[in-house]
Amino acid sequence: MKPVAAIAALAIALTGAAGAAQAKGCIKGAIVGGVAGHFAHRHTLLGAAAGCAIGHHMAAKHAREQARMRRDARYHR
């Protein structure tokens, strides 16, 4: 269990150092995916990679939705 705590601490420390534009959603997804993968038969790295991809996709989807809502709000004044 100590390696998991060390990896989690490292991931949290790197969260502040990551570029926000490139890693939007990836860090949070990688942490969640890594923990889930660890408990799913020791597939920590696979879970982290999948979590990163899904987190990035969801963040991009959210950003598109926010942009659409701002655009629509401008035209409906």
pTM score, whole prediction: 0.63
CA distance 32 to 12: 11
pLDDT of 22: 61
pLDDT of 10: 67
CA distance 12 to 27: 9
Query: What would the two tokens of residue 23 be?
Result: 């890693």
pLDDT of 13: 65
Domain boundaries, the chain: 2-75
The rounded average pLDDT for each run of 10 residues, N- to C-terminus, in the chain (77 residues) is: 70 59 79 91 90 92 94 81
pLDDT of 7: 72
Q: What is the DSSP string of 33-62?
A: HHHHHHHTTS-HHHHHHHHHHHHHHHHHHH
pLDDT of 34: 92
CA distance 26 to 18: 10
